[in-house]
Amino acid sequence: MAKTKPVDDLIYPQNTGILRVLFGIGALGIFASFIGFFVDTKQFHFSYLTSFSYLASFSLASLFFVMLHHITRSSWGVTLRRIPETFSYQLFILAIMFIPILFGMEYLYKWTSPEILATDHLAQHKQPYLNQPFFIIRQIIYFSVWSFLGYRLYKNSVKMDENADWGLETLQRKISAPGILLFSLTVAFASFDWLMSLDFHWFSTMFGVYYFSMSFQAFFAMIILLGLFLRSRGLLLNTITRVHIGDAGKLMFGFTVFYAYIAFSQFFLIYYANIPEETLWYYHRLEGNWSVISYSLIIVRFAAPFLLLLSKAAKSNFTLLGISSVIIVVIHFLEMHWIVMPTLHYHGFSMHWLDISTLVGLGGLLLGFFFYQFQKHSMVPKNDPKFLESLNKH
Amino acid sequence: MSKKYEYVPEQPLVQGNHTFSSITSLIGDIVERPTPMWWYIAFGVSNLLLAMLLGMIAYLVWEGTGIWGLNNPVGWGWAIINFVWWVGIGHAGTLISAILFLFRQGWRTAINRFAEAMTIFAVMCAGIFPAIHVGRIWVVYWMFPIPNQMQMWPNFNSPLLWDVFAVSTYFTVSLLFWYVGLVPDFATLRDRVKSKFGRIIYGFFALGWTGGNRQWQHYEKSYLILAGLATPLVLSVHTIVSFDFAVSIIPGWHTTIFPPYFVAGAIFSGFAMVMTLMIIARKIYGLEDIMTINHIEKMNMIILVTGTMVGFAYVMEFFIAWYGGVEYEKFAFINRAIGPYAWAYWLMFLCNVFSPQFFWSKRIRRSVTASFILSIVVNIGMWFERFVITVTSLAQDFLPGSWGYYSPTWVDVLTYVGTFGLFFTNFLLFLRFMPMVAIAEIKMVMPQADPHYYDENGDEPVLTDKFAKKPDVNA
């Protein structure tokens, strides 16, 4: 029977141009944000948290995807897997990028303020959980877990590139299974810490799942865009084919619906029960022109990609997939903004230039690191036991 | 890393060197052989239980819901618990058929037919409870928005009404899905059975299937569309069921994680039920080559994952009950853990969260005995989960003066036991008269279905050794 062989060049062409551009943009953004720090410290911290939570969501969802791919022994996405692997490897960089947030806690989180603690009953009640030392300890735990998982899964995968030892696949599964359990708990509590505790009166058991569902939808948009980018550069044209991108498209479609399901359920249960301690969070977000974002989440984040990608042909149409992915990646940032910013600007939606500069700064650096790492090794796990099966998909 | 790991290749889905024709006769013969004695015994017992169910319902209709253990403030008791439990069990079938089909999980073919049948019968059992709970069953049609001269309409704002739509839609689509999948297999049986009567009956349901190219194309298309339609339904049904509780402001019920948590719990119990029944059926009918130990292992993994998801939801609920700082919510959860129903709460925790953790061990995952025992433990646990949710929040409500201890009556218990009669009566009929494994689909995942399997002349590769491995088509 016919055997398939990879015919593409599997190494990213060594060029420092893209790195120079990305790191340059990143440095520029960081520099601008640094100035912004002195201009408006409070705004800086809120913008930084928004950009951080946005960018972290891609790496976290990447980690989840890699682990899920291993424990389900999937074959379809093997040719794509090095991209999320590289993203999850970067989680230790995100740990470093989190440090400014620790220094900005007094600006971001009202529960740190002694005056509020003295008068607010709920702040006192929650103090055993919401206090600065424990918050910092928790962040150390989260980032150690994530960095460890991301690092190990990436290193084992590139090791298999070299020694073709299929036994590593067993090891990857042994790491991934408990990894997913740790991931779900840490991400849920991290989302409580970073985002839910901004408004510390508010609570929702679904919030962790909500942050995850947003992230996972946006993750597929990102992987489609990166796949299309590689193809536009003439790379991996016969390795990452229409089938693989189409499969990612199907999952993006599926998780668009999943996101809508989770986000709507959370809103709906609070809306229906109509108890003041819960409704306030949504009330702020339906007030003034924040409501524009709220409604556009329904239309742009759910309805648009849903309708665009509903037909079978659309899910492997590069133009439609590209458009939907760009929409999702952009609205994902707006949603993160919509989660964070009403704490600061509860009267209405407004973009501050710091929102852009922190995003460009952190995003440029992270993408720069991504391509730096991506150039070092083969762009696909070429010795993976299921690599040829993945290549054979049609 | 000093320890060396071995690569574990995936096993072929169908074991034991089967050919297409041996698969057909393995499954088809079950229907054509004379009815075994055990079947009559089991059917007789099921019929007795079914008769008991009908008796209990008749008594209920005659006397009213007062014969149940319900009392203010516990207005929802075993009826709702049983409803949610059966609907939950009815989730695995369509999940296996629809969602695993969309995810291209070839192993689903061994169990999908079986699980779909279970789904349909479980939903039937579930549907009984809300219907008889209305008290005046002769006006049960008021649940539907039928135009009438009294201008009486159901409350469209109520999730209980949405349940009527959700469950009936789910039942309809599951039935259609099941039937569409059965058409090619009915045709196989039509062509095999010896009795004229059987030929007519199977021929009627086979819709003139000949297995032509065009028919297969239509079949595949409709199957895909039905899978696409059924997938959101799997999620929506139990979501609406969770809304029955979560939209209210009863402490312990009103929590935002309910929808995905209920869905995970439903899949959890559904898989456990499929496991229980499958382990018995594969033994009796000698289907170990199709429903292999690898299938059992995969299902156990799903049980582990969904059980842990349920555990995750328990943790979130408990944490937020404290974190939220709402007095009543906090009380509801502490009351669950140390109140009068603590025994039920810890039993639920033990069965749903701790017991599936045994499946981390590969040996236990692959042990038929352990899987059988744990699958039953899981379903006991899931029944108690619904008991804990429903009863603990109601029995100790906002007014301490009305607190009490809810106990079921004998009618409650016998009605519940009776639903097993309905379930097994149907299930035994299914085992007896229908192809219990999707014959056509199982062939699609066999090596012979791959064109690369054959040699240059289009012949089967010659296997000298009986246990020789078939060539790996993916290599």
Statement to judge: residues A277 and A340 lie in one domain? yes
- Give the pLDDT confidence score for residue B257 in this predicted structure: 93
Nearest residue, CB atoms, B325 vs list A125, A181, A185: A125
Mean pLDDT score across all residues of chain B: 89
Tell me the per-residue pLDDT of A72-105, one tens digit each, with 9 for 90 and over. 988 888 999 999 999 999 999 999 999 999 999 9
Across the interface, whether the CB atoms of B254 and A273 are under 8 A apart is answered yes
Contacts with B255 from chain A: Cβ below 8 Å: 205, 269
Contacts with B248 from chain A: Cβ below 8 Å: 273
Task: Report DSSP state, residue B144.
Answer: S
Torsion of CA A9, A11, A14, A16, to 10 degrees: 120
How far apart CA B42 and CA B65 sit, in angstroms, is: 31
Q: Is residue B84 over pLDDT 90?
A: yes
Statement to judge: residues A180 and A223 lie in one domain? no
Contacts with A266 from chain B: Cβ below 8 Å: 256
- C-alpha to C-alpha distances, B106 to B14, B29, B72, B97, B437, nearest whole angstrom: 10, 24, 51, 11, 14
Decide: A314 and A308 in contact? Cβ < 8 Å. Answer: yes
Q: Which residue of B has its CA nearest to A272?
A: B247
Task: Count other C-beta atoms under 10 Å from residue B274's C-beta.
Answer: 26
In a domain, A276, yes or no: yes
Average pLDDT over residues B352-375: 93
For residue A31, name the pLDDT band (cuts at 50, 70, 90). Answer: very high
For residue B141, name the pLDDT band (cuts at 50, 70, 90). Answer: confident
Nearest residue, CB atoms, B7 vs list A170, A192, A388: A170
For residue A354, name the pLDDT band (cuts at 50, 70, 90). Answer: very high
Statement to judge: residues A187 and A212 lie in one domain? no
Q: Which residue of A has its CA nearest to B314?
A: A205
Contacts with A152 from chain B: Cβ below 8 Å: none
Domain of residue A26, residue span: 10-199+354-377
Statement to judge: residues A230 and A189 lie in one domain? no
- Give the pLDDT confidence score for residue A4 in this predicted structure: 63
Tell me the per-residue pLDDT of A165-175, one tens digit each, with 9 for 90 and over. 888 889 999 99
How far apart CA B169 and CA B167 sit, in angstroms, is: 5
Of B230, B217, B206, B227, nearest in space to B90 by CA = B230
Nearest residue, CB atoms, A126 vs list B316, B323, B474: B323
Decide: B439 and B23 in contact? Cβ < 8 Å. Answer: yes
Statement to judge: residues A63 and A44 lie in one domain? yes
Average pLDDT over residues B350-356: 93
How far apart CA A278 and CA A201 sit, in angstroms, is: 8
Across the interface, whether the CB atoms of A177 and B360 are under 8 A apart is answered yes
To test the contact with chain B by mutation, choose from A165, A213, A269, A282 the residue with the greatest count of B C-beta atoms within 10 A, namely A269
How far apart CA B346 and CA B258 sit, in angstroms, is: 20
Cis peptide before B73 (omega within 30 of 0): yes
Q: Is residue B475 over pLDDT 50?
A: no
DSSP string of A246-287, one letter each residue: HHHHHHHHHHHHHHHHHHHHHHHHHHHH--HHHHHHHHHHTS
For residue B450, name the pLDDT band (cuts at 50, 70, 90). Answer: confident
Q: Is residue B213 over pLDDT 90?
A: yes
For residue B467, name the pLDDT band (cuts at 50, 70, 90). Answer: very low
In a domain, A124, yes or no: yes
In a domain, A284, yes or no: yes
Q: How many separate helices (H) and strands (E) can be counted in chain B?
A: 18, 0
Q: Which two tokens stand for residue B274?
A: 């499929």
Statement to judge: residues A248 and A99 lie in one domain? no
> Measured between CA atoms, how close is B305 to chain A, in angstroms?
9
Nearest residue, CB atoms, A126 vs list B249, B255, B325: B325
- Give the pLDDT confidence score for residue B301 in this predicted structure: 93
Nearest residue, CB atoms, B316 vs list A166, A205, A254: A205
In a domain, A3, yes or no: no
Q: Which residue of B has its CA nearest to A393?
A: B474
Statement to judge: residues A209 and A180 lie in one domain? no
Nearest 5°: the CA angle A135, A52, A84 is 110
DSSP string of A290-357, one letter each residue: HHHHHHHIIIIIIIHHHHHT-STGGGG-HHHHHHHHHHHHHHHHHHHHHHHGGGT-TT-----HHHHH
Contacts with A250 from chain B: Cβ below 8 Å: 102
- Give the pLDDT confidence score for residue A1 in this predicted structure: 38
Residue with more model confidence, B21 or A189 = A189
Across the interface, whether the CB atoms of A206 and B323 are under 8 A apart is answered no
Task: Report DSSP state, residue B392.
Answer: I
How far apart CA B411 and CA B66 sit, in angstroms, is: 10
Whether B245 and chain A come into contact, CB under 8 Å, resolves to: no
How far apart CA A81 and CA A64 sit, in angstroms, is: 12
DSSP string of B114-131, one letter each residue: HHHHHHHHHHHHHHHHHH
Average pLDDT over residues B239-246: 93
How far apart CA B81 and CA B265 sit, in angstroms, is: 13
Nearest 5°: the CA angle B132, B134, B135 is 80
Bridge partners, residue B453, by sequence = none
Across the interface, whether the CB atoms of A269 and B10 are under 8 A apart is answered no
Average pLDDT over residues B9-13: 83
Whether B327 and chain A come into contact, CB under 8 Å, resolves to: no
Q: Is residue B73 over pLDDT 50?
A: yes
Which residues numbered 435-454 in B keep a CB inside 8 Å of some CB on A? 452
Across the interface, whether the CB atoms of A167 and B4 are under 8 A apart is answered yes
Angle between the N-to-C axes of helices B213-246 and B78-89, in degrees from 0 to 180, rounded to the nearest 10: 150
In a domain, A391, yes or no: no
Across the interface, whether the CB atoms of B474 and A270 are under 8 A apart is answered no
Across the interface, whether the CB atoms of A269 and B247 are under 8 A apart is answered yes
Contacts with A209 from chain B: Cβ below 8 Å: 257, 260
For residue A236, name the pLDDT band (cuts at 50, 70, 90). Answer: confident
Whether B313 and chain A come into contact, CB under 8 Å, resolves to: yes
To test the contact with chain B by mutation, choose from A71, A176, A206, A211 the residue with the greatest count of B C-beta atoms within 10 A, namely A206
Across the interface, whether the CB atoms of A277 and B254 are under 8 A apart is answered no
CB pairs under 8 A between A and B: 97
- Give the pLDDT confidence score for residue B466 in this predicted structure: 46
Q: Is residue A3 over pLDDT 90?
A: no
Across the interface, whether the CB atoms of A261 and B239 are under 8 A apart is answered yes
Contacts with B258 from chain A: Cβ below 8 Å: 265, 269
Average pLDDT over residues A213-217: 96
- Type of residue numbered B382: M
A274: number of CA atoms within 13 Å, CB side? 1
Statement to judge: residues A289 and A341 lie in one domain? yes
- Give the pLDDT confidence score for residue B44 in this predicted structure: 96
Residue B379 burial (CB < 10 Å; 0-12/13-18/19+)?
buried
Of A247, A238, A251, nearest in space to A391 by CA = A238
> Measured between CA atoms, how close is A204 to chain B, in angstroms?
6
- Provide the greatest CA pair distance for chain B: 85
Q: Which residue of A has its CA nearest to B252?
A: A205
Q: Which residue of A has its CA nearest to B362?
A: A174
Statement to judge: residues A96 and A139 lie in one domain? yes
Whether B334 and chain A come into contact, CB under 8 Å, resolves to: no
In a domain, A156, yes or no: yes
> Measured between CA atoms, how close is B258 to chain A, in angstroms?
8
Nearest residue, CB atoms, A181 vs list B239, B259, B308: B308
Share of chain A above pLDDT 70, in %: 99
What element of type H or E holds B450?
none
Q: What is the tally of structural domains in chain A?
A: 2
Statement to judge: residues A362 and A302 lie in one domain? no
Across the interface, whether the CB atoms of A204 and B256 are under 8 A apart is answered yes
Tell me the per-residue pLDDT of A357-376, one tens digit each, with 9 for 90 and over. 999 999 999 999 999 999 98
Task: Count other C-beta atoms under 10 Å from residue A138's C-beta.
Answer: 16
Q: Is residue B179 over pLDDT 80?
A: yes
Q: Is residue B470 over pLDDT 90?
A: no
In a domain, A19, yes or no: yes
Average pLDDT over residues B399-403: 88
How far apart CA A241 and CA A252 sit, in angstroms, is: 17
Residues 6+ apart with CB under 8 A from A163: A383
Residues 6+ apart with CB under 8 A from B439: B23, B24, B27, B28, B184, B185, B188
Nearest residue, CB atoms, A257 vs list B232, B323, B325: B232
How far apart CA A220 and CA A76 sit, in angstroms, is: 14
Statement to judge: residues A66 and A109 lie in one domain? yes
In a domain, A301, yes or no: yes
For residue A66, name the pLDDT band (cuts at 50, 70, 90). Answer: very high
Residues 6+ apart with CB under 8 A from B44: none
Least reliable range by pLDDT among A118-132, A371-385, B449-463: B449-463
